[in-house]
Structure 1
Amino acid sequence: MTLSVLDLVPVRSDQTTGDGIRASLDLARAADEAGYRRYWVAEHHNMPAVAATNPPVLIAMIAAATARIRVGSGGVMLPNHAPLVVAEQFALLEAAYPGRIDLGIGRAPGTDPVTRWVLRNGATSTEEDPVARFPEYVEDVRALMAPEGAGLAVRGDTFELRATPRASGVPTIWLLGSSDYSARLAARMGLPYVFAHHFAGQGTAEALELYRDSFQPSAELDRPRTFLTVNAAVAETAEEAERLALPQLHAMVALRTGGTLRPQLLVEEAEAAQLPPAHAAMLDSMRGRWVVGEPESAAKQIRVLAERYGVDEVMVHPVAGAVVGTAADSSPARERTLRLLAEAVDG
């Protein structure tokens, strides 16, 4: 069993953005030391509890702070960006950290409608909307990052475009999704694929089966390649793990119900919060899909999930919160989740 990490760079009620980033750098070092395979950062915008707004910038910091772990995006929301810009960013990262960079690409906006409109320069029509051109944009990034680059027809001539002058390697491209759209596209393009199980919670088996059944080999990949993502909080006791999971559970309930989004609560703040009965039921339902518990139980849950979905790698989103008095620039419960889980899985 191989473990990896997904990080949204959370910002708690007792933290600044800088505190959250420093805590995530320590978390990446802990993952590197514990033997995790890869460390991916998300892209979300205009969210009070998430500092992962710019994956390439974060990837550069994390790769510099670690020694061997693969670092990547989970993912870059491609409709928010020009394909050439994404290709240039990740070609440079691959040149600086050869063999360690993953480019995970998503189609969702990763934000609210107003921020999405700003990110896309006010595009409103179908012709202008980058979402409608997502497959084309993926192919553009793929071509531009190749050492030979791409050719653009201009007034009867071919204009050569390369993401970087002399590439000696190319980041691994993954397609991400929470519906069957990206599963079909990844299979058709012959790319690795990841279903956002940690976020969607449902439809995982169907999406992975669709991907595997319709996969077409490519120059990059001769057989389907995928893994599973899951939210996890691990502590020395099951009771403590349940407490530590509460802040993220409350944040997800607010997101799903249109509630007020705010910096992530401390554990004591989440324990004191009162939820309407319907929201409490939603919290319990989400909790049932997460890996929460003491190390041996959590490791068993990971193995069961991996067997159920036929994967040999699981990407853990460590959601353990912080208690009052925790140093602002640290997230010890998240680090402990990674260390305890790695030790139990290896054991």
Structure 2
Amino acid sequence: MSFPQLSVLDLIPVRSGQSSAQAVAASLDTAVRADRLGYRRYWFAEHHNMPAVASTTPPVLIAAAASRTERIRVGSGGVMLPNHAPLVVAEQFAALEAIAPGRVDLGIGRAPGSDPVITQLLLRTGTTSDVDRFPEHIANILALTSAQGATVRFTSGGEYTVHATPVSQGSPEVWLLGSSDYSARLAASLGLPYVFANHFSGEGLERALALYRQEFQPSEYLDAPRTFLTANVVAADTAEEAGERALPQLRMMARLRTNRPLVPLETVEQAKADPWDGLSTTIMDAARAKWFVGDGATVRAELAAFAERWGVDEVMISPVAGAYDGEPLDTAPGRIRSLELLSTASVAA
């Protein structure tokens, strides 16, 4: 059984007692380690108004990671397109491509990544109008970031050519992200690579991949289907430690599912000291059953079997290991250890 190429999805978790600056510093340190360990990509998600998440602006974070790394591809997982004007997204990622030529991925999602109020604050338009125009906006971004640019046609008959940058030397690689049939079918029809957000729920994975592969239409961007999957992962030196480090994120998942107030991530000790009710425990157990949690050898074997089962050669892991009391606030030892245990590269300390 061959081992898949690994990439990283980062939400920039913020834990108890940690500032946003410290959380960002910890994630950038993790990105540097991923680069040295041979990971293929490092993507930042877009979420808003969540105390436990600091990844609100993928383009800014991508630029910071690009400046600190040498080889790894950097990108978004993803930009939530209903929140943004297509031209702005195109210009941001064209600029990133100029900063890190040949290393930029533009992963795009259809969900807003937050609640309707935040969507209105970001765009000051309706909460559904831009979601409905998602296919059109994807086409606009592809055109705007191309060397040819996009041509705007007016009802008067005039035309106006727009480029995301004055002189394009290359374009970001565009991926469509999703956890439903919609994005799978759209990616197939446009001939674009597709990522199923398995870390989010895992429901509908088989159908989404089948639709994407069956309906794929070759394009100037891709001549055959190309896809990978995401997964929540905690690898540690022992299975017991991995189980403990998984607790803070599992409890956050239970908070989300039961509409409890959102707070920064607990430390392992805080999570263990505050038992929850039966419903929360059921939610946590169901979530953990879909995660990859254990010692390095066990998680490696499970990821290899996972990739083989779904016919992918790459898995993007979301390293969700929590922290213990007393661990540094400006780095993430548990997350970094997960990356080290799953990597085949030998790296200097």
Distance (Å, rounded) in 1 between the aligned partners of 2:153 and 2:296: 57
| Alignment counterpart, residue 46 of structure 1, candidates 38, 49, 61 | 49
Supply the AA of the counterpart residue of 1:303.
A
Partner of 1:278: 279
Q: Is the 2:37–2:345 Cα contact (8 Å) retained in structure 1?
A: no
Task: For residues 311-333 of structure 1, give each alpha carbon's deviation from its aligned partner in whole angstroms, at most 9, with x where no partner exists.
Answer: 00000100000000011111110
SS in 2 for 1:75: strand
Counterpart for residue 34 of structure 1: 37
What CA distance in whole angstroms lies between the structure 2 residues aligned with 1:191 and 1:150?
18
The list of structure 1 runs, each at least 4 consecutive aligned residues, that deviate by more than 4 angstroms after superposition, is none
Contact 1:295 1:344 in 2 (8 A): no
Task: Show structure 1 runs of 5+ residues with no match.
Answer: none
Please give the alpha-carbon distance, in whole angstroms, between the structure 2 residues aligned to 1:34 and 1:156.
54
1:153 alignment partner in structure 2 = 153
- Contact in 2 for aligned 1:299/1:344 (Cα 8 Å): no
TM-superposition CA deviations, 1:272-320 (whole Å, max 9, x none): 1221101101101110100000011000110111011110000010000
Which residue of structure 2 lines up, in the alignment, with residue 72 of structure 1?
Answer: 75
Letter in 1 for 2:230: T
Task: Determine the C-alpha separation between the residues in 1 that align with 2:74 and 2:321.
Answer: 21
SS at match of 1:147: coil
**Residues 1:329 and 2:330 are matched in the alignment:** yes
Question: Which residues of 2 match residues 289-300 of structure 1 at below 5 A?
Answer: 289-300=290-301
Code of the aligned partner of 1:77: M
TM-score w.r.t. length of structure 1: 0.97
CA contact (8 A) 1:104 1:175 kept: yes
Q: What letter is aligned with 1:231? A: N
Could you say what secondary structure the match of 1:76 adopts?
A: strand
* Alignment-mate amino acid for residue 82 of structure 2: P
Distance 1:258 1:15 in 2: 23
Q: CA deviation at 1:344?
A: 9.4
Distance in 2 between residues matched to 1:343 and 1:271, nearest whole Å: 33
- Output aligned runs, 1:194-233, within 5 Å: 194-233=195-234
CA distance in 2, matches of 1:60, 1:233: 27
Where in structure 2 are the equivalents of 1:113-152 lying within 5 Å? 113-124=116-127, 129-152=129-152
Tell me which residue corresponds to 2:343. 342
CA deviations over 1:134-182 (Å, ceiling 9, x no partner): 0000001010000110111133221110000110111100000011110
Aligned length: 342
Aligned pairs for 1:142-181 (under 5 A) are: 142-154=142-154, 155-181=156-182
CA separation in 1, counterparts of 2:90 and 2:119?
21
Determine the C-alpha separation between the residues in 2 that align with 1:104 and 1:160.
Answer: 25
Indicate the larger mover: 14-23 or 255-264.
255-264
For 1:310-321, what aligned pairs fall within 5 Å after superposition? 310-321=311-322
> Which whole-Å CA distance do the structure 1 matches of 2:142 and 2:105 have between them?
13
Report the alpha carbon displacement of residue 120 of structure 1 after superposing the two structures with TM.
Answer: 2.7
Shift of residue 122 of structure 1? 3.9
**Structure-2 separation of matches of 1:185 and 1:25:** 33
Q: State how far apart, in whole Å, the 1-side matches of 2:113 and 2:125 are.
A: 16
2:102 aligned partner, one-letter code: G
Show the counterpart of 2:250: 249
> What does the per-residue CA deviation read over 1:194-225, in whole Å, with 9 as the maximum and x for residues that have no partner?
01000122211111111001000000100000
Q: Is the 8 A contact 1:105 1:176 kept in 2?
A: yes
Amino acid at match of 1:83: P
In the alignment, the residues of structure 1 paired with residue 14 and residue 112 of structure 2 have an alpha-carbon distance, to the nearest angstrom, of: 20
Aligned equivalents of 1:187, 1:257: Cα separation in 2: 35
1:15 equivalent to 2:18? Answer yes
CA distance in 2, matches of 1:95, 1:302: 34
In 2, Cα distance between the equivalents of 1:230 and 1:344? Answer: 21
> Is contact 1:322-1:331 (8 Å) kept?
yes
Deviation at residue 248 of structure 1 after TM alignment: 0.5
SS of alignment partner, residue 198 of structure 1 = coil
Whichever residue aligns with residue 222 of structure 1, its letter is: D
Identity in percent: 57
**For 1:343, what is the secondary structure of its paired residue?**
coil
Tell me, in whole angstroms, the C-alpha distance in 2 between the residues paired with 1:294 and 1:16.
30
SS of structure 2 residue aligned to 1:314: strand
Question: Structure 2: which amino acid aligns with 1:225?
Answer: R
Q: Distance in 2 between matches of 1:64 and 1:26?
A: 12
CA distance in 2, matches of 1:118, 1:71: 27
The CA RMSD measured in Å over matched residues stands at 1.2
Q: In 1, are the aligned partners of 2:38 and 2:345 still within 8 Å (CA)?
A: no
Question: Which amino acid is the alignment partner of residue 276 of structure 1?
Answer: D
Check whether the contact 1:245–1:321 (CA below 8 A) recurs between aligned residues: yes
CA distance in 2, matches of 1:40, 1:13: 24
CA distance in 1, matches of 2:223, 2:88: 28
Report if aligned partners of 1:63, 1:71 keep a CA contact under 8 Å in 2.
yes
